[in-house]
């Protein structure tokens, strides 16, 4: 845990991805692995294309994330 009590390792880590929601609405986003923050590698409408671009950029295990309108409606 970090000094604020947040889990900082393993699959239980909580990360606020809300800054991505409006900017990448209805798109697939490829993120770097958590080290110590996620960064956007690339994004687009097709998951396979986005994943392929991330791999071509040298990221072996990009974290894929879909920012769906349903998710936005549930949160905001």
Buried b (16+ CB within 10 A) or exposed e, 46-75: eeeebbebbeeeebeebbebebeeebeeee
Of residues 4 and 37, which shows the higher confidence score?
37
What is the per-residue pLDDT for 62? Answer: 94
Instruction: Answer yes or no: is 24 within a domain.
Output: yes
Tell me the per-residue pLDDT of 14-69, one tens digit each, with 9 for 90 and over. Answer: 777 777 778 898 999 999 987 677 889 999 999 999 999 999 999 999 999 898 87
Instruction: Answer yes or no: is 11 within a domain.
Output: no
Instruction: Answer yes or no: is 7 within a domain.
Output: no
Residue position matching structure tokens 């798109």: 27
Report how many domains make up the chain.
Answer: 1
**3-state helix/strand/coil string of 27-63:** EEEEECCCCCCCCEEEEECCHHHHHHHHHHCCCCCCE
Instruction: Answer yes or no: is 2 within a domain.
Output: no
Q: Which domain holds residue 23?
A: 18-75
What is the per-residue pLDDT for 7? Answer: 46
Instruction: Answer yes or no: is 31 within a domain.
Output: yes
Instruction: Answer yes or no: is 40 within a domain.
Output: yes
Instruction: Answer yes or no: is 8 within a domain.
Output: no
């Amino acid at each position: 845990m970090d000094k604020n009590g947040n889990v900082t390792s393993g699959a239980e880590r909580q990360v606020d991805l809300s800054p991505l929601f409006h900017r990448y609405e209805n798109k697939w986003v490829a993120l770097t692995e958590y080290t110590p923050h996620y960064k956007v590698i690339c994004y687009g409408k097709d998951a396979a294309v986005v994943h392929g671009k991330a791999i071509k950029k040298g990221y072996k295990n990009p974290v894929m994330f879909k920012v769906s309108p349903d998710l936005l409606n549930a949160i905001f």
